[in-house]
Amino acid sequence: MRFYLRLLLSLCCCSVTFPALSTPSWWQDTLSAMPYSNLKERIEKSGSWYSCEVQLLDNSTFISAFCLDDFSYYQQHLYGEVVLRRESAQFSFLTEYEWQRLNDLLLNLRKDGLVLRRVTIGQEHYDVVEALEKKSSELVDKEVILLMNRYPQEAIRSLLWVKPDEFLTPSPSLNVQLRSDGEIIEVKVTRF
């Protein structure tokens, strides 16, 4: 009996300690070097996503998309939509703003191996690629942290993330933009 209790306890601890193990395979495929055509097929046939219509900004045009009512991104619960085009997928994940959620999403993007390429907060813009041409990585890290801490958490912000091997590429195959305005947090992922 003790053995089974220990086994159950260890399984529970593993599921809490390693949430990435339960990350959906379509998300890992999105971040991987998998060809876009294979990713598109996986999303269309995964069973997690369902067909829906998304209203565009002009409020009169609707396009076919796939929706996901609950994407558990580590411990964050996000609502998702994806528009699958011939050459790219445009994901949009939304959640209500909370300071802790914003911080957790920042950490989770880093856990997934993404690196920060550009920061815009308020009217200030910081291009990490450009800064690294003139400054040490330690100084750039410090300046980014100071910029992010200079503004209240509710300030409008946009952070662009890419895969490390595409950091210097003018047209990366994956762009992840984290936007927050103090009310909604959006993680916009473009995959080519």
What pLDDT sits at residue 60? 74
What pLDDT sits at residue 22? 53
Average pLDDT by stretches of 10, the chain with 192 residues: 36 38 79 94 89 78 89 94 94 96 96 97 96 97 95 94 96 97 97 95
Amino acid letter, residue 106? L
Q: How far apart are CA 71 and CA 93, in angstroms?
A: 8
What pLDDT sits at residue 63? 82
Tokens of 95: 């959640």
Amino acid letter, residue 116? L
Q: How far apart are CA 43 and CA 26, in angstroms?
A: 7
Tokens of 118: 């550009």
What pLDDT sits at residue 57? 66
Tokens of 24: 């959906």
**Selection from 99, 109, 107 nearest residue 151 by Cα:** 99
What pLDDT sits at residue 192? 93
What pLDDT sits at residue 4? 34
Q: How far apart are CA 165 and CA 39, in angstroms?
A: 20
